[in-house]
Chains A and B, each alone.
Chain A
Amino acid sequence: MSNLPDQIEDLQPKRRFSSSDKVYRILLTGCAALILIIVITMLIVIGQGSWLSIREFGLSFLFGQVWDPVKGEFGALPFIYGTVVSSVIAVLIATPLSIGVAVFLVEQAPRSLARPIGFLVELLAAIPSVVYGLWAIFVLAPFLRVYVQPPLQATLGWLPFFKGTPTGIGMFTGGLIMAIMITPIITAVVRDILEAVPVTQREAALALGATKWETTKIVLANASSGIAGAVILGLGRAVGETMAVTMIIGNRPHISASLFDPGYTIASVIANEFTEATGDLYLSALVEMGLILFIVTFIVTALAKLLIMSVGRKTQNVA
């Protein structure tokens, strides 16, 4: 649709594509270039900061499994693993939940109910991370330890994901609190996207005899690229989330298949150790963690986009 003005321009006398439109285009492009400049500056600053560590460890930093600041050994693998696993858990839980809420608010609930609920959900996004963390320690973790983890272990304990002592603290809880934190973000965006889908589409589907759910499916399929954007927004928040996750994930740089075991994320280790880090190499290793997080976010974002796009396409075909 964005090349539309060009097509129209061809049909029109040349007078319209005037200097004002040039200014408009240059202005917007300039703003877009600004974000690139900001990120490139950030990359340069971060790259400079991590140069010492990159030179010292090279690629072995990525695959090292030991993180011992006292002895000066730094490896990022357990943190990368923890970041990916916990955010995947978060997105897997939050995405269907958020779409469900958004569909309910837009397609089903009466306006008098949808408004206050929509408001409430947006409020969730405003609670400071540290408050989520404290709530998780005092309410969520004990609850999971007593009521959720033992039954999970009893029924699915043969899977490697649910082994170990359930303490309520660990990767599973970390992913769950992240899911709660990103649900309002995904919901708010999906809701707006669904609201923007023209009513005519719904009416057409209903007129053809589709049930309400089938209509919703068509609406969802049409909004799939927008939903993908929303999920990526949530994913980004999950990957970069620090305080709440740090308080509940157990902070152990150790790769374990079990979700009940403590884990560690890149953002957590930066938040945990940056302010107290002394020594150039140590600081540099932490800054390199930031660089890796950047790259991990790029990759995860790209994968999520591809995945959601393909799911969207499939739904569209079915519909």
Chain B
Amino acid sequence: MIERRRLVNTIMTTLTALCAFAVVGILVLILGYISFQGISSLSWQFLVQTPKPVGEGGGIGNAIVGSLTLLGLASLVGIPLGIAIGTYLAELGSGWFGTIVRFVADAMIGIPSIVFGVFVYALVVLQQGYFSTLAGSIALALIMIPIVTRTTEEIVKLVPKSMREGALALGAPEWRVTWDIVLPAAKTGIATGAMLAVARVLGETAPLLFTAFGSRFYNIYLDEPMASMPVQIYNYAISPFEEWHAKAWAATLVLITLILVINIIVRYTTRKGY
């Protein structure tokens, strides 16, 4: 009996390790492929210049700035709202209303990003009569909200009851318990949710195509079309030219690096005490 349990233990332990190495293997394959295809086009000029016609070089400087602007604005709305709704679901959402909201959030995750794009196009772009950074940010924020909501809820639910009870017993009001005890305890998990949402929208082309549109210039205005990395990558990737393909891969490499940097910053600022 003991032997069998030991055997099962060894098998399962090996299996989980295999899973990890398989996933890392796939990742290394994909990253390797992207690097192999794109590294030759990476240069300082590539990072700061604006796009140019085939054969004349050019870069993705305006797209990097554009993506960060769009992402910043979207996060500003999407992440706090997502955290608030997630907290509501975990702390107050056991009734029928909570059940509905939870279900709606789940369904919202499954809506293809292009539908958000079309929705914002109809509601914002057509009303204003022009494509704008603002419209693009709204579309991205809408995609972020349910992701942040669901991850926040799952993690806030796991904060031990005893912590809440302790604070409440000391006479703290409910909101202080959430704000000072529960959310800080759940911050690494919430950060994961936010990062997933950021990673998701930073790579999205479809919701931006008809909202933020695109531009070949540096742009700082929120009421004008804005370039973004995924749209630029998409345009490069679907072209017939080898040179532009390489730029698409290189831009992807930059995008991934950007995610990595954001990830490290977020992890660092929300790190647990160890």
Contact = CB atoms under 8 A, between A and B. Distances in A.
Interface of A: 1-5, 8, 12, 16-18, 20-21, 23-25, 27-29, 31-36, 38-39, 41-42, 45-46, 96-101, 103-105, 107-109, 117, 119-132, 134-135, 138-139, 180, 183-185, 187-189, 191-193, 195-198, 211-214, 216, 223, 225-226, 229-230, 232-233, 235-237, 239-243, 266-267, 270-271, 274-275, 290, 293-294, 296-298, 300-302
Given A21-B173, A119-B263, A189-B154, 12 more contacts: A16-B173, A24-B174, A97-B23, A101-B23, A103-B16, A104-B17, A130-B205, A213-B8, A213-B12, A225-B157, A232-B150, A298-B107
Contacts of A223: 158
A265 B155 CA distance: 32
Interface stretch (B58-66, B127-135, B141-149, B217-225): B141-149
Interface of B: 5-6, 8-9, 12-13, 15-20, 22-24, 26-31, 33-34, 81, 84-85, 87-94, 97-98, 100-101, 103-115, 118-119, 122-123, 142, 145-147, 149-151, 153-155, 157-161, 164-165, 168-169, 171, 173-175, 178, 186, 188-189, 192-193, 195-196, 199-200, 202-206, 209, 230, 233-234, 237, 248-249, 252, 255-256, 259-260, 263
Contacts of A229: 150, 153-154
Contacts of B123: 41, 45
10 contacts: A32-B98, A101-B16, A109-B17, A120-B28, A130-B233, A132-B30, A134-B237, A193-B158, A226-B155, A243-B205
Nearest to A267: B112
B168 A5 contact: yes
B92 A293 contact: no
Contacts of A42: 111, 115, 119
Contact of B92 (A20, A29, A188, A189): A29
A243 to B, nearest CB: 7
Nearest to B91: A2
Contact of A8 (B17, B33, B122, B168): B168
A27 B91 CA distance: 13
A217 to B, nearest CB: 9
* Most A Cβ at <10 Å: residue of B23, B31, B93, B193: B23
A120 B264 CA distance: 12
A184 B196 CA distance: 9
Given A104-B19, A243-B206, A35 B85 contact: yes
Contacts of B248: 131
Given A29-B88, A123-B260, A271-B206, A100 B104 contact: no
Given A24-B175, A139-B33, A180 B188 contact: no
Contacts of A99: 19
Q: Which 3 A-B pairs have the closest CB atoms?
A: A100-B19, A236-B109, A297-B110
Nearest to A227: B154
A105 B20 contact: yes
B88 A31 contact: yes
B109 A237 contact: yes
A114 B58 CA distance: 39
Contacts of B193: 189
A235 B110 contact: yes
A301 B103 contact: yes
A20 B173 contact: yes
A123 B22 CA distance: 15
A38 B219 CA distance: 29
A187 B151 CA distance: 12
A4 B19 CA distance: 40
Contacts of B20: 100-101, 104-105, 109, 117
A36 B101 contact: yes
A294 to B, nearest CB: 6
Contacts of A226: 154-155, 157-158
Nearest to B151: A189
A52 B56 CA distance: 48
Contacts of B84: 27-28, 31-32
